[in-house]
Amino acid sequence: MARAGIALGSNLGDRMAYLQSACDHLREIADDSDVFLTAPVYQSVPSDCPPDSPDFLNTVVEFEFQGSPESLLEKTQAIQAKMGRDEKSERNAPRVIDLDILYLSEAVVKGTVLELPHPRMTERRFVLKPLVDICPDLVLPDQVVTVAELLALLPHDDLPLVAMDDGLN
């Protein structure tokens, strides 16, 4: 059984409620909801977003998933659409929900629509910190060090994170 890591982010409306709803939808596609890990939620300053974009709430979940990377992408995109995300908005525009597949066990995908492991996750504190909270010893398929070690390598002047709670239900 493969383990899927998904980053969740929201910077519009009731951000915590949107994260919780997305987490609930992801539980529905998990093969065993009893083995569903949720990281604490962090607030982060937007990066590479339009000026005056609101702060994000971010977290990471990991769960068992039986299916292809492409089928997981279809399911996460369907969740985003169901929750009202506008796919036609400008890149990195504020959004009610953002679901990024970080990894699917040992899968390596280099496509135009999907790339696994996520190509920029190792550069993003708002992804690595919550991931380290739930899977500190994880070694991604394209790495030789753990995600905890990757987090430690990020510059200390990186954008700060503020812990918001202990995780979603």
Q: How far is CA 28 from CA 65, 72, 151, in A?
A: 11, 12, 30
Q: Which pLDDT belongs to residue 124?
A: 93
pTM assigned to the model: 0.93
The domain containing residue 156 runs over which residues?
A: 2-165
* Mean pLDDT per 10-residue segment, the chain (169 residues): 96 96 96 88 88 93 96 97 79 87 97 95 95 98 96 81 78
Instruction: Report the C-alpha gap between 130 and 109 in whole angstroms.
Output: 23
Instruction: Report the C-alpha gap between 37 and 85 in whole angstroms.
Output: 24
Count of domains forming the chain: 1
Q: Report the alpha-carbon angle 118-124-127, nearest 5.
A: 70
CATH number of the domain that residue 19 is part of = 3.30.70.560
Q: Which pLDDT belongs to residue 168?
A: 78
Q: Which pLDDT belongs to residue 159?
A: 65
Instruction: Report the C-alpha gap between 87 and 90 in whole angstroms.
Output: 8
| Helix, strand or coil, per DSSP, at residue 87 | coil
Instruction: Report the C-alpha gap between 2 and 65 in whole angstroms.
Output: 5
Q: Which pLDDT belongs to residue 158?
A: 64
- Map tokens 């506008």 to a residue: 86
